[in-house]
């Protein structure tokens, strides 16, 4: 039985839109676990923080498990405090997801999850984090099928694979959204809110290349692993992460993944369905294909 | 290595000639026999050798990384520099007396992460990611119990090190897994008559007018179009130079200053190491050395990177 996880919203959405998105997910989406919190930029969290309790309550009422992720890059006291307060959470029904090694340290000995921003490339690290208390680990985006095949059969924790959405490729101290608008990070005017799915980055020859989401750089194309689900499930991966987007019907994406993972829909048909319903988006198989990643 | 030792470096980082280190480029690095000779050469001159094993072992294939650690320990390197949690655990258990440093590739940017590596694996020194400002480095050093080291001269990663998959996204090879970024095998320069185009795999990274110096297409230093404008979106083609900040870095509690040398020629290494040595040994007038260094920066502009808060 597959386990579908909705990753955290990676973009800067207006707080009410953010809340309403999760309300709809709670009411309509066939998902097992939902991640609620900020991973990319500490400056965004205060805008929607007040809505977190009611979002969690609504999701829990709809029998969704809750994961609260920590920030991926921690550089100052304020960000460190945010990680300390989330990892100090003592709620039996909520697991905290570590996205930096500092959070795995603070969660030592307690059940938690590990997100895709912690470098887990091999058995040695996997074993260590499992002994530390990790119950499931979402593998870094860079791992291909051969690495996952080496890890999954004997994995001491459940493994999760980033299956849908723009791939998070890099994180920086510098805000490229601010830089593109002639601003600095400290006085950014939160211009990342202009691009609810990220700002497209093209080459000088107008070839689609990357996307910028504040301090985060992502793939231009969306990964869609519907056609790899069979292979991944066969080697023992049961958890699949779907990353929220604004211009995508995430309820439909979740339903499609559920149908494929349960053998109720042909993977090729599923991929076509996803492509047809999102004609403006380029899809790829990310790091699951042979050779070069996503173009 | 000899140029660095002879010019007054206190320690030199080396790597084996394979994917176990993050400078896995053709023509660089050391065989086992060469490493043994290098250790003798450096130790005879009161200089230390640190062995970089700072990529992430491949799933199902840890043997090359374990053997690099074992051989480094057997040859008597003064420290090894690691990034992977599993490999740190292996080293701490198999070679408890071998001094361990934490690579910048581990992206330990805060006191809690550094405390973790110290408590779990007895790491003695941490190389700080190039994401922190000078005041943040100072604040961090007041909270940690291990030595810190920072980059002062050479390339400038604009993304948090060890957390960047841009190179593998474009070329299939990355710093974390292959020890390379924007590798030369994926580079092409195409002369289109009125312009020269630099490409990395299938993507144009920059174009140059006739006579304009064409830089290497490191993908985060290219020109791209975003928000309707063409710009060096991530970073200009600059290199890092913190030569004017040495006293500030010392005041911030930094123990080690790191100069990028492994992809550079002998003359470059000698010049840069000599300048920094002189600067550190004299307690004043370090700006003279900055002028000395301009000749080796290949016409590139220089930046203090994230050490200067406005960089962000």
pLDDT value at B309 more than 70: yes
How many residue pairs from chains A and B have C-beta atoms closer than 8 A? 217
What residues in B contact A181, CB-CB < 8 Å? 227
Task: Name the minimum distance, in Å, from the CA of B133 to any CA of chain A.
Answer: 9
- Could you give phi then psi for residue A152, rounded to 5 degrees? -65, -45
Tokens 């701490």, located at residue = B92
Per the CB < 8 Å rule, is B312 touching A185? yes
Cα(A108)–Cα(A99) distance, rounded to whole angstroms? 14
Q: What is the pLDDT, as a whole number, of residue B299?
A: 54
- Spans of all domains in chain B: 2-161+238-311, 176-231
Considering only residues A16 and B157, tell me which one the structure prediction assigns the higher pLDDT: A16
Task: Name the minimum distance, in Å, from the CA of A290 to any CA of chain B.
Answer: 9
CATH architecture of the domain covering B2-161+238-311: Alpha-Beta Barrel (3.20)
Question: What are the tens digits of pLDDT across the range B100-145?
Answer: 999 999 999 999 999 999 999 999 999 999 888 999 999 999 999 9
Question: What are the tens digits of pLDDT across the range B25-83?
Answer: 777 889 999 999 999 999 999 999 999 999 999 999 999 999 999 999 999 999 999 99
A 41-60: CB under 8 A from B: none
Nearest CA in chain A to B201: A292
pLDDT value at B301 more than 80: no
Residue-averaged pLDDT of chain A: 95
Pairing mode, if any, of strands A216-224 and A208-213? antiparallel
Q: How confident is the model at residue A13 (pLDDT cuts 50, 70, 90)?
A: very high
Per the CB < 8 Å rule, is B60 touching A123? yes
CA quadruple A139, A142, A147, A148: dihedral sign:
positive
- How many Cα neighbours within 13 Å face the side chain of B277? 15
DSSP A43-57: TTHHHHGGGHHHHHH
A125 touches chain B (CB under 8 A): yes
Cα(B79)–Cα(B149) distance, rounded to whole angstroms? 14
End-to-end Cα separation, chain B, in angstroms: 34
Q: What is the pLDDT, as a whole number, of residue A295?
A: 43
Quick check: B198 and B214 in contact, CB under 8 A? yes
Task: Name the minimum distance, in Å, from the CA of A179 to any CA of chain B.
Answer: 7
Report residue A267 CA to chain centroid gap.
22
Cα(B232)–Cα(B229) distance, rounded to whole angstroms? 10
DSSP lists the bridge partners of residue B100 as B80
Of the candidates B63, B24, B64, B305, which has an alpha carbon nearest to the alpha carbon of residue B174?
B24
ipTM of the complex: 0.94
Q: What is the pLDDT, as a whole number, of residue B290?
A: 59
User: Cβ neighbours of residue A205 under 8 Å, at least 6 residues apart?
Assistant: B204
Per cent of chain B over pLDDT 70 is 94
Per the CB < 8 Å rule, is B62 touching A122? yes
Question: What are the tens digits of pLDDT across the range A107-155?
Answer: 999 999 999 999 999 999 999 999 999 999 999 999 999 999 999 999 9
Nearest CA in chain A to B143: A77
Q: How confident is the model at residue A230 (pLDDT cuts 50, 70, 90)?
A: very high
Quick check: A230 and A172 in contact, CB under 8 A? no
Q: Which domains are seen in chain A, by residue range?
A: 3-166+222-286 (3.20.20.70)
Q: What is the pLDDT, as a whole number, of residue A65?
A: 98
Instruction: Choose among A151, A201, A204: nearest Cβ to B59.
Output: A151
Task: Taking residues B195-213, report their average pLDDT.
Answer: 92
Q: What is the pLDDT, as a whole number, of residue A70?
A: 98
Nearest CA in chain A to B106: A119
Quick check: A70 and A100 in contact, CB under 8 A? yes
pLDDT value at B284 more than 60: no
């Amino acid at each position: 039985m597959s386990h579908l996880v909705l990753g955290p919203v990676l973009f800067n959405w207006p707080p009410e839109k953010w809340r309403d998105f999760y309300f709809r997910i709670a009411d309509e989406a066939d998902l097992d676990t939902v991640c609620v919190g900020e991973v990319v930029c500490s400056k965004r969290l205060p805008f929607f923080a007040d809505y977190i309790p009611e979002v969690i309550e609504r999701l829990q009422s709809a029998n969704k498990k809750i994961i609260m992720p920590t920030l991926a890059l921690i550089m100052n006291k304020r960000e460190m405090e945010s990680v300390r307060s989330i990892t100090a959470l003592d709620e039996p029904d909520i697991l905290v997801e570590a996205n930096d090694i500092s959070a795995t340290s603070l969660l030592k000995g307690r059940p938690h999850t590990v997100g895709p921003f912690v470098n887990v490339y091999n058995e040695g690290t996997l074993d260590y984090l499992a002994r530390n208390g990790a119950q499931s680990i979402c593998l870094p985006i860079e791992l291909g099928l051969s690495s996952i095949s080496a890890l999954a059969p004997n994995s001491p924790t459940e493994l999760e694979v980033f299956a849908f959405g723009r791939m998070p490729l890099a994180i920086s101290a510098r805000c490229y959204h601010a830089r593109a608008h002639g601003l600095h990070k400290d006085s950014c005017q939160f211009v990342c809110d202009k691009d609810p799915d990220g700002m497209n980055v093209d080459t000088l020859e107008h070839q689609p290349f990357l996307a910028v989401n504040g301090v985060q750089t992502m793939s231009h194309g969306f990964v869609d692993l519907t056609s790899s689900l069979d292979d991944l499930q066969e080697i023992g991966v049961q958890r699949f992460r779907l990353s929220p987007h604004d211009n995508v019907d995430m309820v439909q994406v979740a339903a499609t993944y559920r149908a494929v993972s349960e053998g109720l829909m042909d993977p090729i048909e599923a991929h076509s369905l996803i492509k047809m319903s999102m004609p403006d988006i380029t899809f790829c198989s990310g790091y699951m294909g042979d050779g070069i990643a996503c173009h | 290595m000899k140029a660095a030792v002879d010019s007054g470096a206190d320690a030199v980082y080396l790597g084996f000639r394979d994917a176990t280190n993050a400078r896995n480029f053709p023509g660089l690095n050391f065989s086992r026999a060469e490493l043994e000779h290098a250790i003798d050469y450096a130790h005879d001159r009161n200089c230390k050798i640190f062995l970089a094993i700072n990529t992430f072992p491949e799933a199902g294939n840890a043997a090359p990384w374990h053997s690099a650690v074992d051989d480094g320990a057997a040859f008597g390197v003064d420290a090894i520099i690691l990034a992977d949690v599993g490999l740190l655990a292996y080293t701490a258990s198999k070679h408890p007396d071998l001094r361990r440093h934490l690579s910048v590739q581990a992206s330990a940017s805060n006191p809690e992460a550094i405390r973790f590596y110290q408590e779990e694996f007895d790491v003695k020194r941490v190389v700080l990611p190039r994401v922190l400002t000078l005041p943040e480095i100072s604040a961090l050093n007041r909270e940690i119990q291990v030595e810190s080291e920072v980059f002062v001269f050479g390339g400038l990663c604009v993304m948090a090190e060890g957390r960047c998959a841009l190179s593998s996204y474009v070329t299939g090879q990355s710093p974390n897994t292959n020890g390379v970024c924007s590798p030369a095998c994926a580079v092409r320069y195409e002369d289109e008559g009125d312009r020269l185009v630099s490409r990395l795999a299938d993507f144009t990274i920059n174009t140059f007018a006739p006579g304009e110096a064409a830089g290497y297409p490191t993908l985060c230093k290219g020109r791209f179009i975003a928000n309707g404008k063409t710009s060096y979106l991530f970073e200009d083609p600059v290199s890092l130079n913190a030569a004017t900040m040495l006293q500030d870095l010392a005041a911030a509690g930094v123990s080690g200053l790191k100069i990028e040398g492994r992809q550079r020629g002998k003359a470059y290494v000698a010049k840069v190491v000599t300048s920094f040595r002189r600067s550190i040994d004299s307690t004043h007038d370090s700006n003279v050395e900055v002028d000395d260094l301009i000749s080796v920066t290949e016409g590139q502009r220089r930046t203090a990177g994230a050490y200067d808060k406005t960089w962000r």
